[in-house]
Chains A and B, each alone.
Chain A
Amino acid sequence: MATNLKKLSKNPELLTGGHRACAGCTGSNILRQIMLTAGRDTVVGGATGCMEVVTTIFPYTAWKVPFIHNAFENSAATISGVETAYRAMKKRGDLPVERENMNFIAFGGDGGTYDIGFQSLSGAMERGHNMLYVCYDNEAYMNTGIQRSSATPLGAHTSTAPAGTVKQGKEQNRKDLTKIMVAHNIPYVAQTTPYHWRDLATKVEKALAVDGPAFLNVLMPCTVGWHFEQADAMQIAKQAVESNFWPLFEVENGQYKINKKPKEREPIEGWLKQQGRFKHLFKPGNEGILEEIQSHIDTEWEKLLKLEAMSNGE
């Protein structure tokens, strides 16, 4: 894959500026980067959530490609309908404009993907539609006011699982959705972040090139929900990878490949300290939670290394 900045910079901007995302939002950045790679012959479907709300307030739209928002929990099913219509109309020569190939991208936040839209996503992936599902994962229901989701990490403060005098934020680890998508045996599954632009663009290219469904989980640092300085968003994304909190990896036809292995993984404390949502974990008495977070990250990383080794026949 020959993705480079020069090539990307010449592609048309298909998500225009002037939309209403927060200052420091990495979500619109993710979508913009995806659209630079996907190009004009793309239909996009968005679940109810931050990115839908900020890009399509009637009578305005930031989308220069066809876009559909249906509801919160069904962007995968909706795009599966669009993709099926494309195949059916193409077969009969009924397409409004002839296109030999088109891209179909559904997206949702972690609420619309891990939780309420999980069934719709699983169904669409199992049915084998030629579509890419992108989850922009900001680890809570940000659009409705920072409530916990099944993507929220252990110990994070949210408005429905707040840190208080007897509870210290979320009491469970996050769901490993990427691996659940791998278990669907679809041709392409990957994780990335908006900081790693070349990795992201390459993964979108690969995902759109496969014949069948693809899933991309993109970590989306959220200045409002995670409580960090707006200017630090990309740095937070970078450190999520360097601490092994959010490894960059891809699974092509079942074969795992880790795209970036930190020479020496950073202790998670450094990453946690920059975010207000973990502030309470540094109070005396919460050392156990910090240890649990670190141990979970290390265990998951070891598992990932083994999966890669198995894929390499080791």
Chain B
Amino acid sequence: MEQQLVALTGNEAVAYAFKQARPHVASAFPITPQTEMMHKFAEFVANGEVDTEMILVESEHSAMSAAVGASAAGSRVITATSSAGFALMWEIVYIAASLRLPICMALVNRALSGNINIHNDHSDSMGGRDAGWIHLHSENAQEAYDNGVMSFRISEHPDVQLPTMVCYDGFIISHTADSLYMLDDADAATFVGERTPKYALLDVENPITVGPLDLTDYYFEHKVSQMEAEQRALPIIDQVSAEYGELTGRRYEHFESYKMDDAECCIVILGSSAGTTKAMIDEYREKGIKVGLMKIRTFRPFPNELIADALSGMKAIAVLDKSASFGGFGGPVFTEVRSALYQTGCRAPVHNWIYGLGGRDYDLHQAAHVIESIDKIARGEEMETINLLGVRL
């Protein structure tokens, strides 16, 4: 398949992915750092490159509300948000998933208020981890684009019917020019296909009621059907990714394993920080330290068995969280990974580093510190379970 090598920011790359999927409706409200994605998309609409109808709402709450209406109507829908905008959508984020509505959203990760901060961490999407969406994390513009294209196939799959958020780090990915390969519009359109909903509000000949009052006698069963849909999404994400891999040569798994084959210890991480970590892993490999990296792409549904299997041979595991769970025992990625490992025989120490809150730079020194620490732990040294990285104490 011929692909074009282009230089784009992450926001532009995702705007192209969304344009190529030809959504019927885009509803959005501006918030930094997501804005440029919708600017680019609006340009496509203004220049007739895509005939999407835009709903330029008065808040993120209405952005998600209109997306719910448009998706229930039977159309293909996109939206985008970050941080406080996602928080304002909160109630409707849950409703979108509960009503089993495919919606593709660019979630450009930014720290939650307060205090107000426009830079990257994962506190926004992590707060929505129990909302019933599919979360796909991206390391760079290429991955954000690829996840963007694939998100429609995953969300709209008849066995899934769940909304997807394509997560990528604010500014670090969203605003940084990067080189990536893009499909031709026609090839992307063929891959994505058309949405064929089983039920649609606009089918007035077969009227349905969406979102009824659901009490003690049925609500629980409906929640179970959501849980099951999330589980069914795991193999479908893989199936779509395999098909996409054949088309593009870029095959995505639920997580990427970097130098894990002979690794004795490893770092588990999400998003753009993986690149910095890989660079440092290369240096420590040269020093003879057998360290690897697991970069999680599918955070929801959480591929716990696959992750546990991949980690069960480790002597020590470092999990890096770019968000805090206040009052909890470690960050959300740590909690998930450690819990997944419990079902295996593996009792390797799992340690957590919380880093980068509010966009605090994650640099090579911090990566080196984690590698050295986890190597020491692998060799029997005792250390705190929950740690902080790059903060003044």
Contact = CB atoms under 8 A, between A and B. Distances in A.
B46 interface: no
B92 A41 contact: no
B205 to A, nearest CB: 5
B70 interface: yes
B55 A67 contact: no
Q: Which of B58, B59, B204 has the most CB of A within 10 A?
A: B204
A84 B61 contact: no
A125 to B, nearest CB: 10
Given A71-B91, A80-B66, A81-B68, A91 B51 contact: yes
B218 interface: yes
Q: Which of A81, A87, A124 has the most CB of B within 10 A?
A: A81
Contact of B218 (A40, A59, A74, A91): A59
Given A85-B69, A86-B73, A88-B53, A68 B201 contact: yes
A31 interface: no
Contact of B65 (A57, A81, A86, A126): A81
Given A52-B213, A63-B209, A127-B56, A89 B65 contact: no
Given A56-B209, A61-B209, A119 B73 contact: no
A81 B70 contact: yes
Interface residues of A, number: 52
A119 B62 contact: yes
B202 A127 contact: no
A77 B69 contact: yes
A119 B62 CA distance: 9
B202 A97 contact: yes
A85 B212 contact: no
A97 B51 contact: no
A81 B55 contact: yes
Contacts of B74: 85, 89, 96
Contact of B25 (A71, A84, A99, A120): A84
A70 B89 CA distance: 13
Interface in B193-213: 194, 200-205, 207-213
A37 interface: no
A66 B201 contact: yes
Nearest to A106: B69
A70 B25 contact: no
A64 interface: yes
A65 interface: yes
Nearest to B197: A96
Contacts of B91: 71
B211 A68 contact: yes
A123 B59 contact: yes
Contacts of A59: 218
Contact of A82 (B58, B69, B205): B69
A95 interface: yes
B1 interface: no
A73 interface: yes
Contacts of B209: 56, 61, 63, 66-68
Q: Which of A71, A80, A82 has the most CB of B within 10 A?
A: A82
B24 A88 contact: yes
A96 B208 CA distance: 13
A304 interface: no
A88 B66 CA distance: 14
Interface string A158-179: 0000000000000000000000
Contacts of A92: 24, 51
B66 A81 contact: yes
Interface string A114-131: 000001101110110000
B202 A70 contact: no
Contacts of A127: 55-57
15 contacts: A57-B212, A57-B215, A67-B210, A71-B95, A77-B57, A77-B66, A81-B71, A81-B77, A86-B202, A89-B75, A94-B194, A96-B200, A97-B202, A127-B56, A127-B57
Given A66-B208, A69-B210, A102-B202, 12 more contacts: A40-B204, A41-B204, A43-B73, A67-B208, A78-B65, A81-B69, A82-B70, A82-B73, A83-B69, A94-B194, A97-B202, A120-B65
